[in-house]
Amino acid sequence: MAGTGHHHCGVAAAEPNRAAAVRVRIRSRVFRWYGQLRQIEDRSGDSEESAPGLVDELNKLEARVGKINVPLSYADELYALRDHIDQVRKRLLRA
Protein backbone atom coordinates (compact mmCIF):
# COMPACT_ATOMS: atom_id res chain seq x y z
CA MET A 1 0.00 0.00 0.00
CA ALA A 2 2.98 2.31 -0.33
CA GLY A 3 1.53 3.72 -3.54
CA THR A 4 -1.60 4.84 -1.72
CA GLY A 5 0.37 7.32 0.38
CA HIS A 6 1.81 8.91 -2.72
CA HIS A 7 -1.67 9.32 -4.18
CA HIS A 8 -2.86 11.16 -1.08
CA CYS A 9 0.19 13.43 -1.18
CA GLY A 10 -0.58 14.26 -4.79
CA VAL A 11 -4.16 15.15 -3.96
CA ALA A 12 -3.08 17.28 -1.01
CA ALA A 13 -0.49 19.03 -3.17
CA ALA A 14 -3.14 19.74 -5.82
CA GLU A 15 -5.40 21.59 -3.36
CA PRO A 16 -3.26 24.76 -3.11
CA ASN A 17 -2.91 24.76 -6.89
CA ARG A 18 -6.67 24.51 -7.32
CA ALA A 19 -7.23 27.31 -4.81
CA ALA A 20 -4.68 29.46 -6.65
CA ALA A 21 -6.42 28.77 -9.97
CA VAL A 22 -9.79 29.78 -8.50
CA ARG A 23 -8.25 32.95 -7.05
CA VAL A 24 -6.70 33.90 -10.41
CA ARG A 25 -9.94 33.22 -12.27
CA ILE A 26 -12.08 35.29 -9.89
CA ARG A 27 -9.58 38.13 -9.71
CA SER A 28 -9.20 38.31 -13.49
CA ARG A 29 -12.98 38.45 -13.88
CA VAL A 30 -13.29 41.23 -11.28
CA PHE A 31 -10.47 43.20 -12.94
CA ARG A 32 -12.11 42.76 -16.35
CA TRP A 33 -15.40 44.11 -14.94
CA TYR A 34 -13.55 47.05 -13.39
CA GLY A 35 -12.09 47.70 -16.83
CA GLN A 36 -15.58 47.77 -18.33
CA LEU A 37 -16.75 50.08 -15.54
CA ARG A 38 -13.86 52.43 -16.20
CA GLN A 39 -14.67 52.52 -19.93
CA ILE A 40 -18.27 53.42 -19.17
CA GLU A 41 -17.15 56.08 -16.71
CA ASP A 42 -14.65 57.51 -19.21
CA ARG A 43 -17.32 57.64 -21.91
CA SER A 44 -19.69 59.47 -19.56
CA GLY A 45 -17.69 62.64 -20.18
CA ASP A 46 -18.22 62.32 -23.93
CA SER A 47 -21.05 64.46 -25.21
CA GLU A 48 -21.80 61.83 -27.88
CA GLU A 49 -22.77 59.25 -25.25
CA SER A 50 -26.25 59.32 -23.77
CA ALA A 51 -26.57 58.90 -20.01
CA PRO A 52 -29.53 56.48 -20.35
CA GLY A 53 -27.49 54.27 -22.69
CA LEU A 54 -24.57 54.21 -20.26
CA VAL A 55 -26.90 53.49 -17.34
CA ASP A 56 -28.27 50.56 -19.34
CA GLU A 57 -24.71 49.26 -19.80
CA LEU A 58 -24.11 49.64 -16.06
CA ASN A 59 -27.29 47.69 -15.32
CA LYS A 60 -26.14 44.87 -17.61
CA LEU A 61 -22.69 44.86 -16.01
CA GLU A 62 -24.26 44.75 -12.55
CA ALA A 63 -26.47 41.83 -13.62
CA ARG A 64 -23.40 39.87 -14.78
CA VAL A 65 -21.61 40.64 -11.52
CA GLY A 66 -24.67 39.55 -9.54
CA LYS A 67 -24.78 36.13 -11.21
CA ILE A 68 -21.33 35.02 -10.11
CA ASN A 69 -21.01 32.77 -7.08
CA VAL A 70 -17.73 33.23 -5.27
CA PRO A 71 -16.29 31.89 -2.04
CA LEU A 72 -17.01 34.14 0.92
CA SER A 73 -13.38 35.26 0.99
CA TYR A 74 -13.95 37.10 -2.33
CA ALA A 75 -17.35 38.59 -1.52
CA ASP A 76 -15.81 41.89 -0.41
CA GLU A 77 -14.32 42.43 -3.88
CA LEU A 78 -17.73 41.93 -5.49
CA TYR A 79 -19.45 44.18 -2.95
CA ALA A 80 -16.89 46.90 -3.66
CA LEU A 81 -17.41 46.51 -7.42
CA ARG A 82 -21.20 46.70 -7.05
CA ASP A 83 -20.81 49.82 -4.90
CA HIS A 84 -18.60 51.45 -7.53
CA ILE A 85 -21.10 50.57 -10.26
CA ASP A 86 -23.81 52.22 -8.17
CA GLN A 87 -21.68 55.35 -7.63
CA VAL A 88 -21.11 55.74 -11.37
CA ARG A 89 -24.84 55.19 -12.01
CA LYS A 90 -25.75 57.92 -9.50
CA ARG A 91 -23.33 60.36 -11.16
CA LEU A 92 -24.81 59.58 -14.58
CA LEU A 93 -28.36 60.09 -13.34
CA ARG A 94 -27.44 63.46 -11.79
CA ALA A 95 -25.84 64.67 -15.01
pLDDT tens digit sequence for 23-72: 898 889 999 999 999 999 999 887 777 889 999 999 999 999 999 888 88
Q: How confident is the model at residue 73 (pLDDT cuts 50, 70, 90)?
A: confident
Quote the DSSP letter at residue 74: G
Domain boundaries, the chain: 29-94
CA distance linking residue 5 with residue 39, whole number of Å: 52
> Quick one: pLDDT band at residue 82, thresholds 50, 70, 90?
very high
Alpha-carbon distance 28 to 43, whole Å? Answer: 23
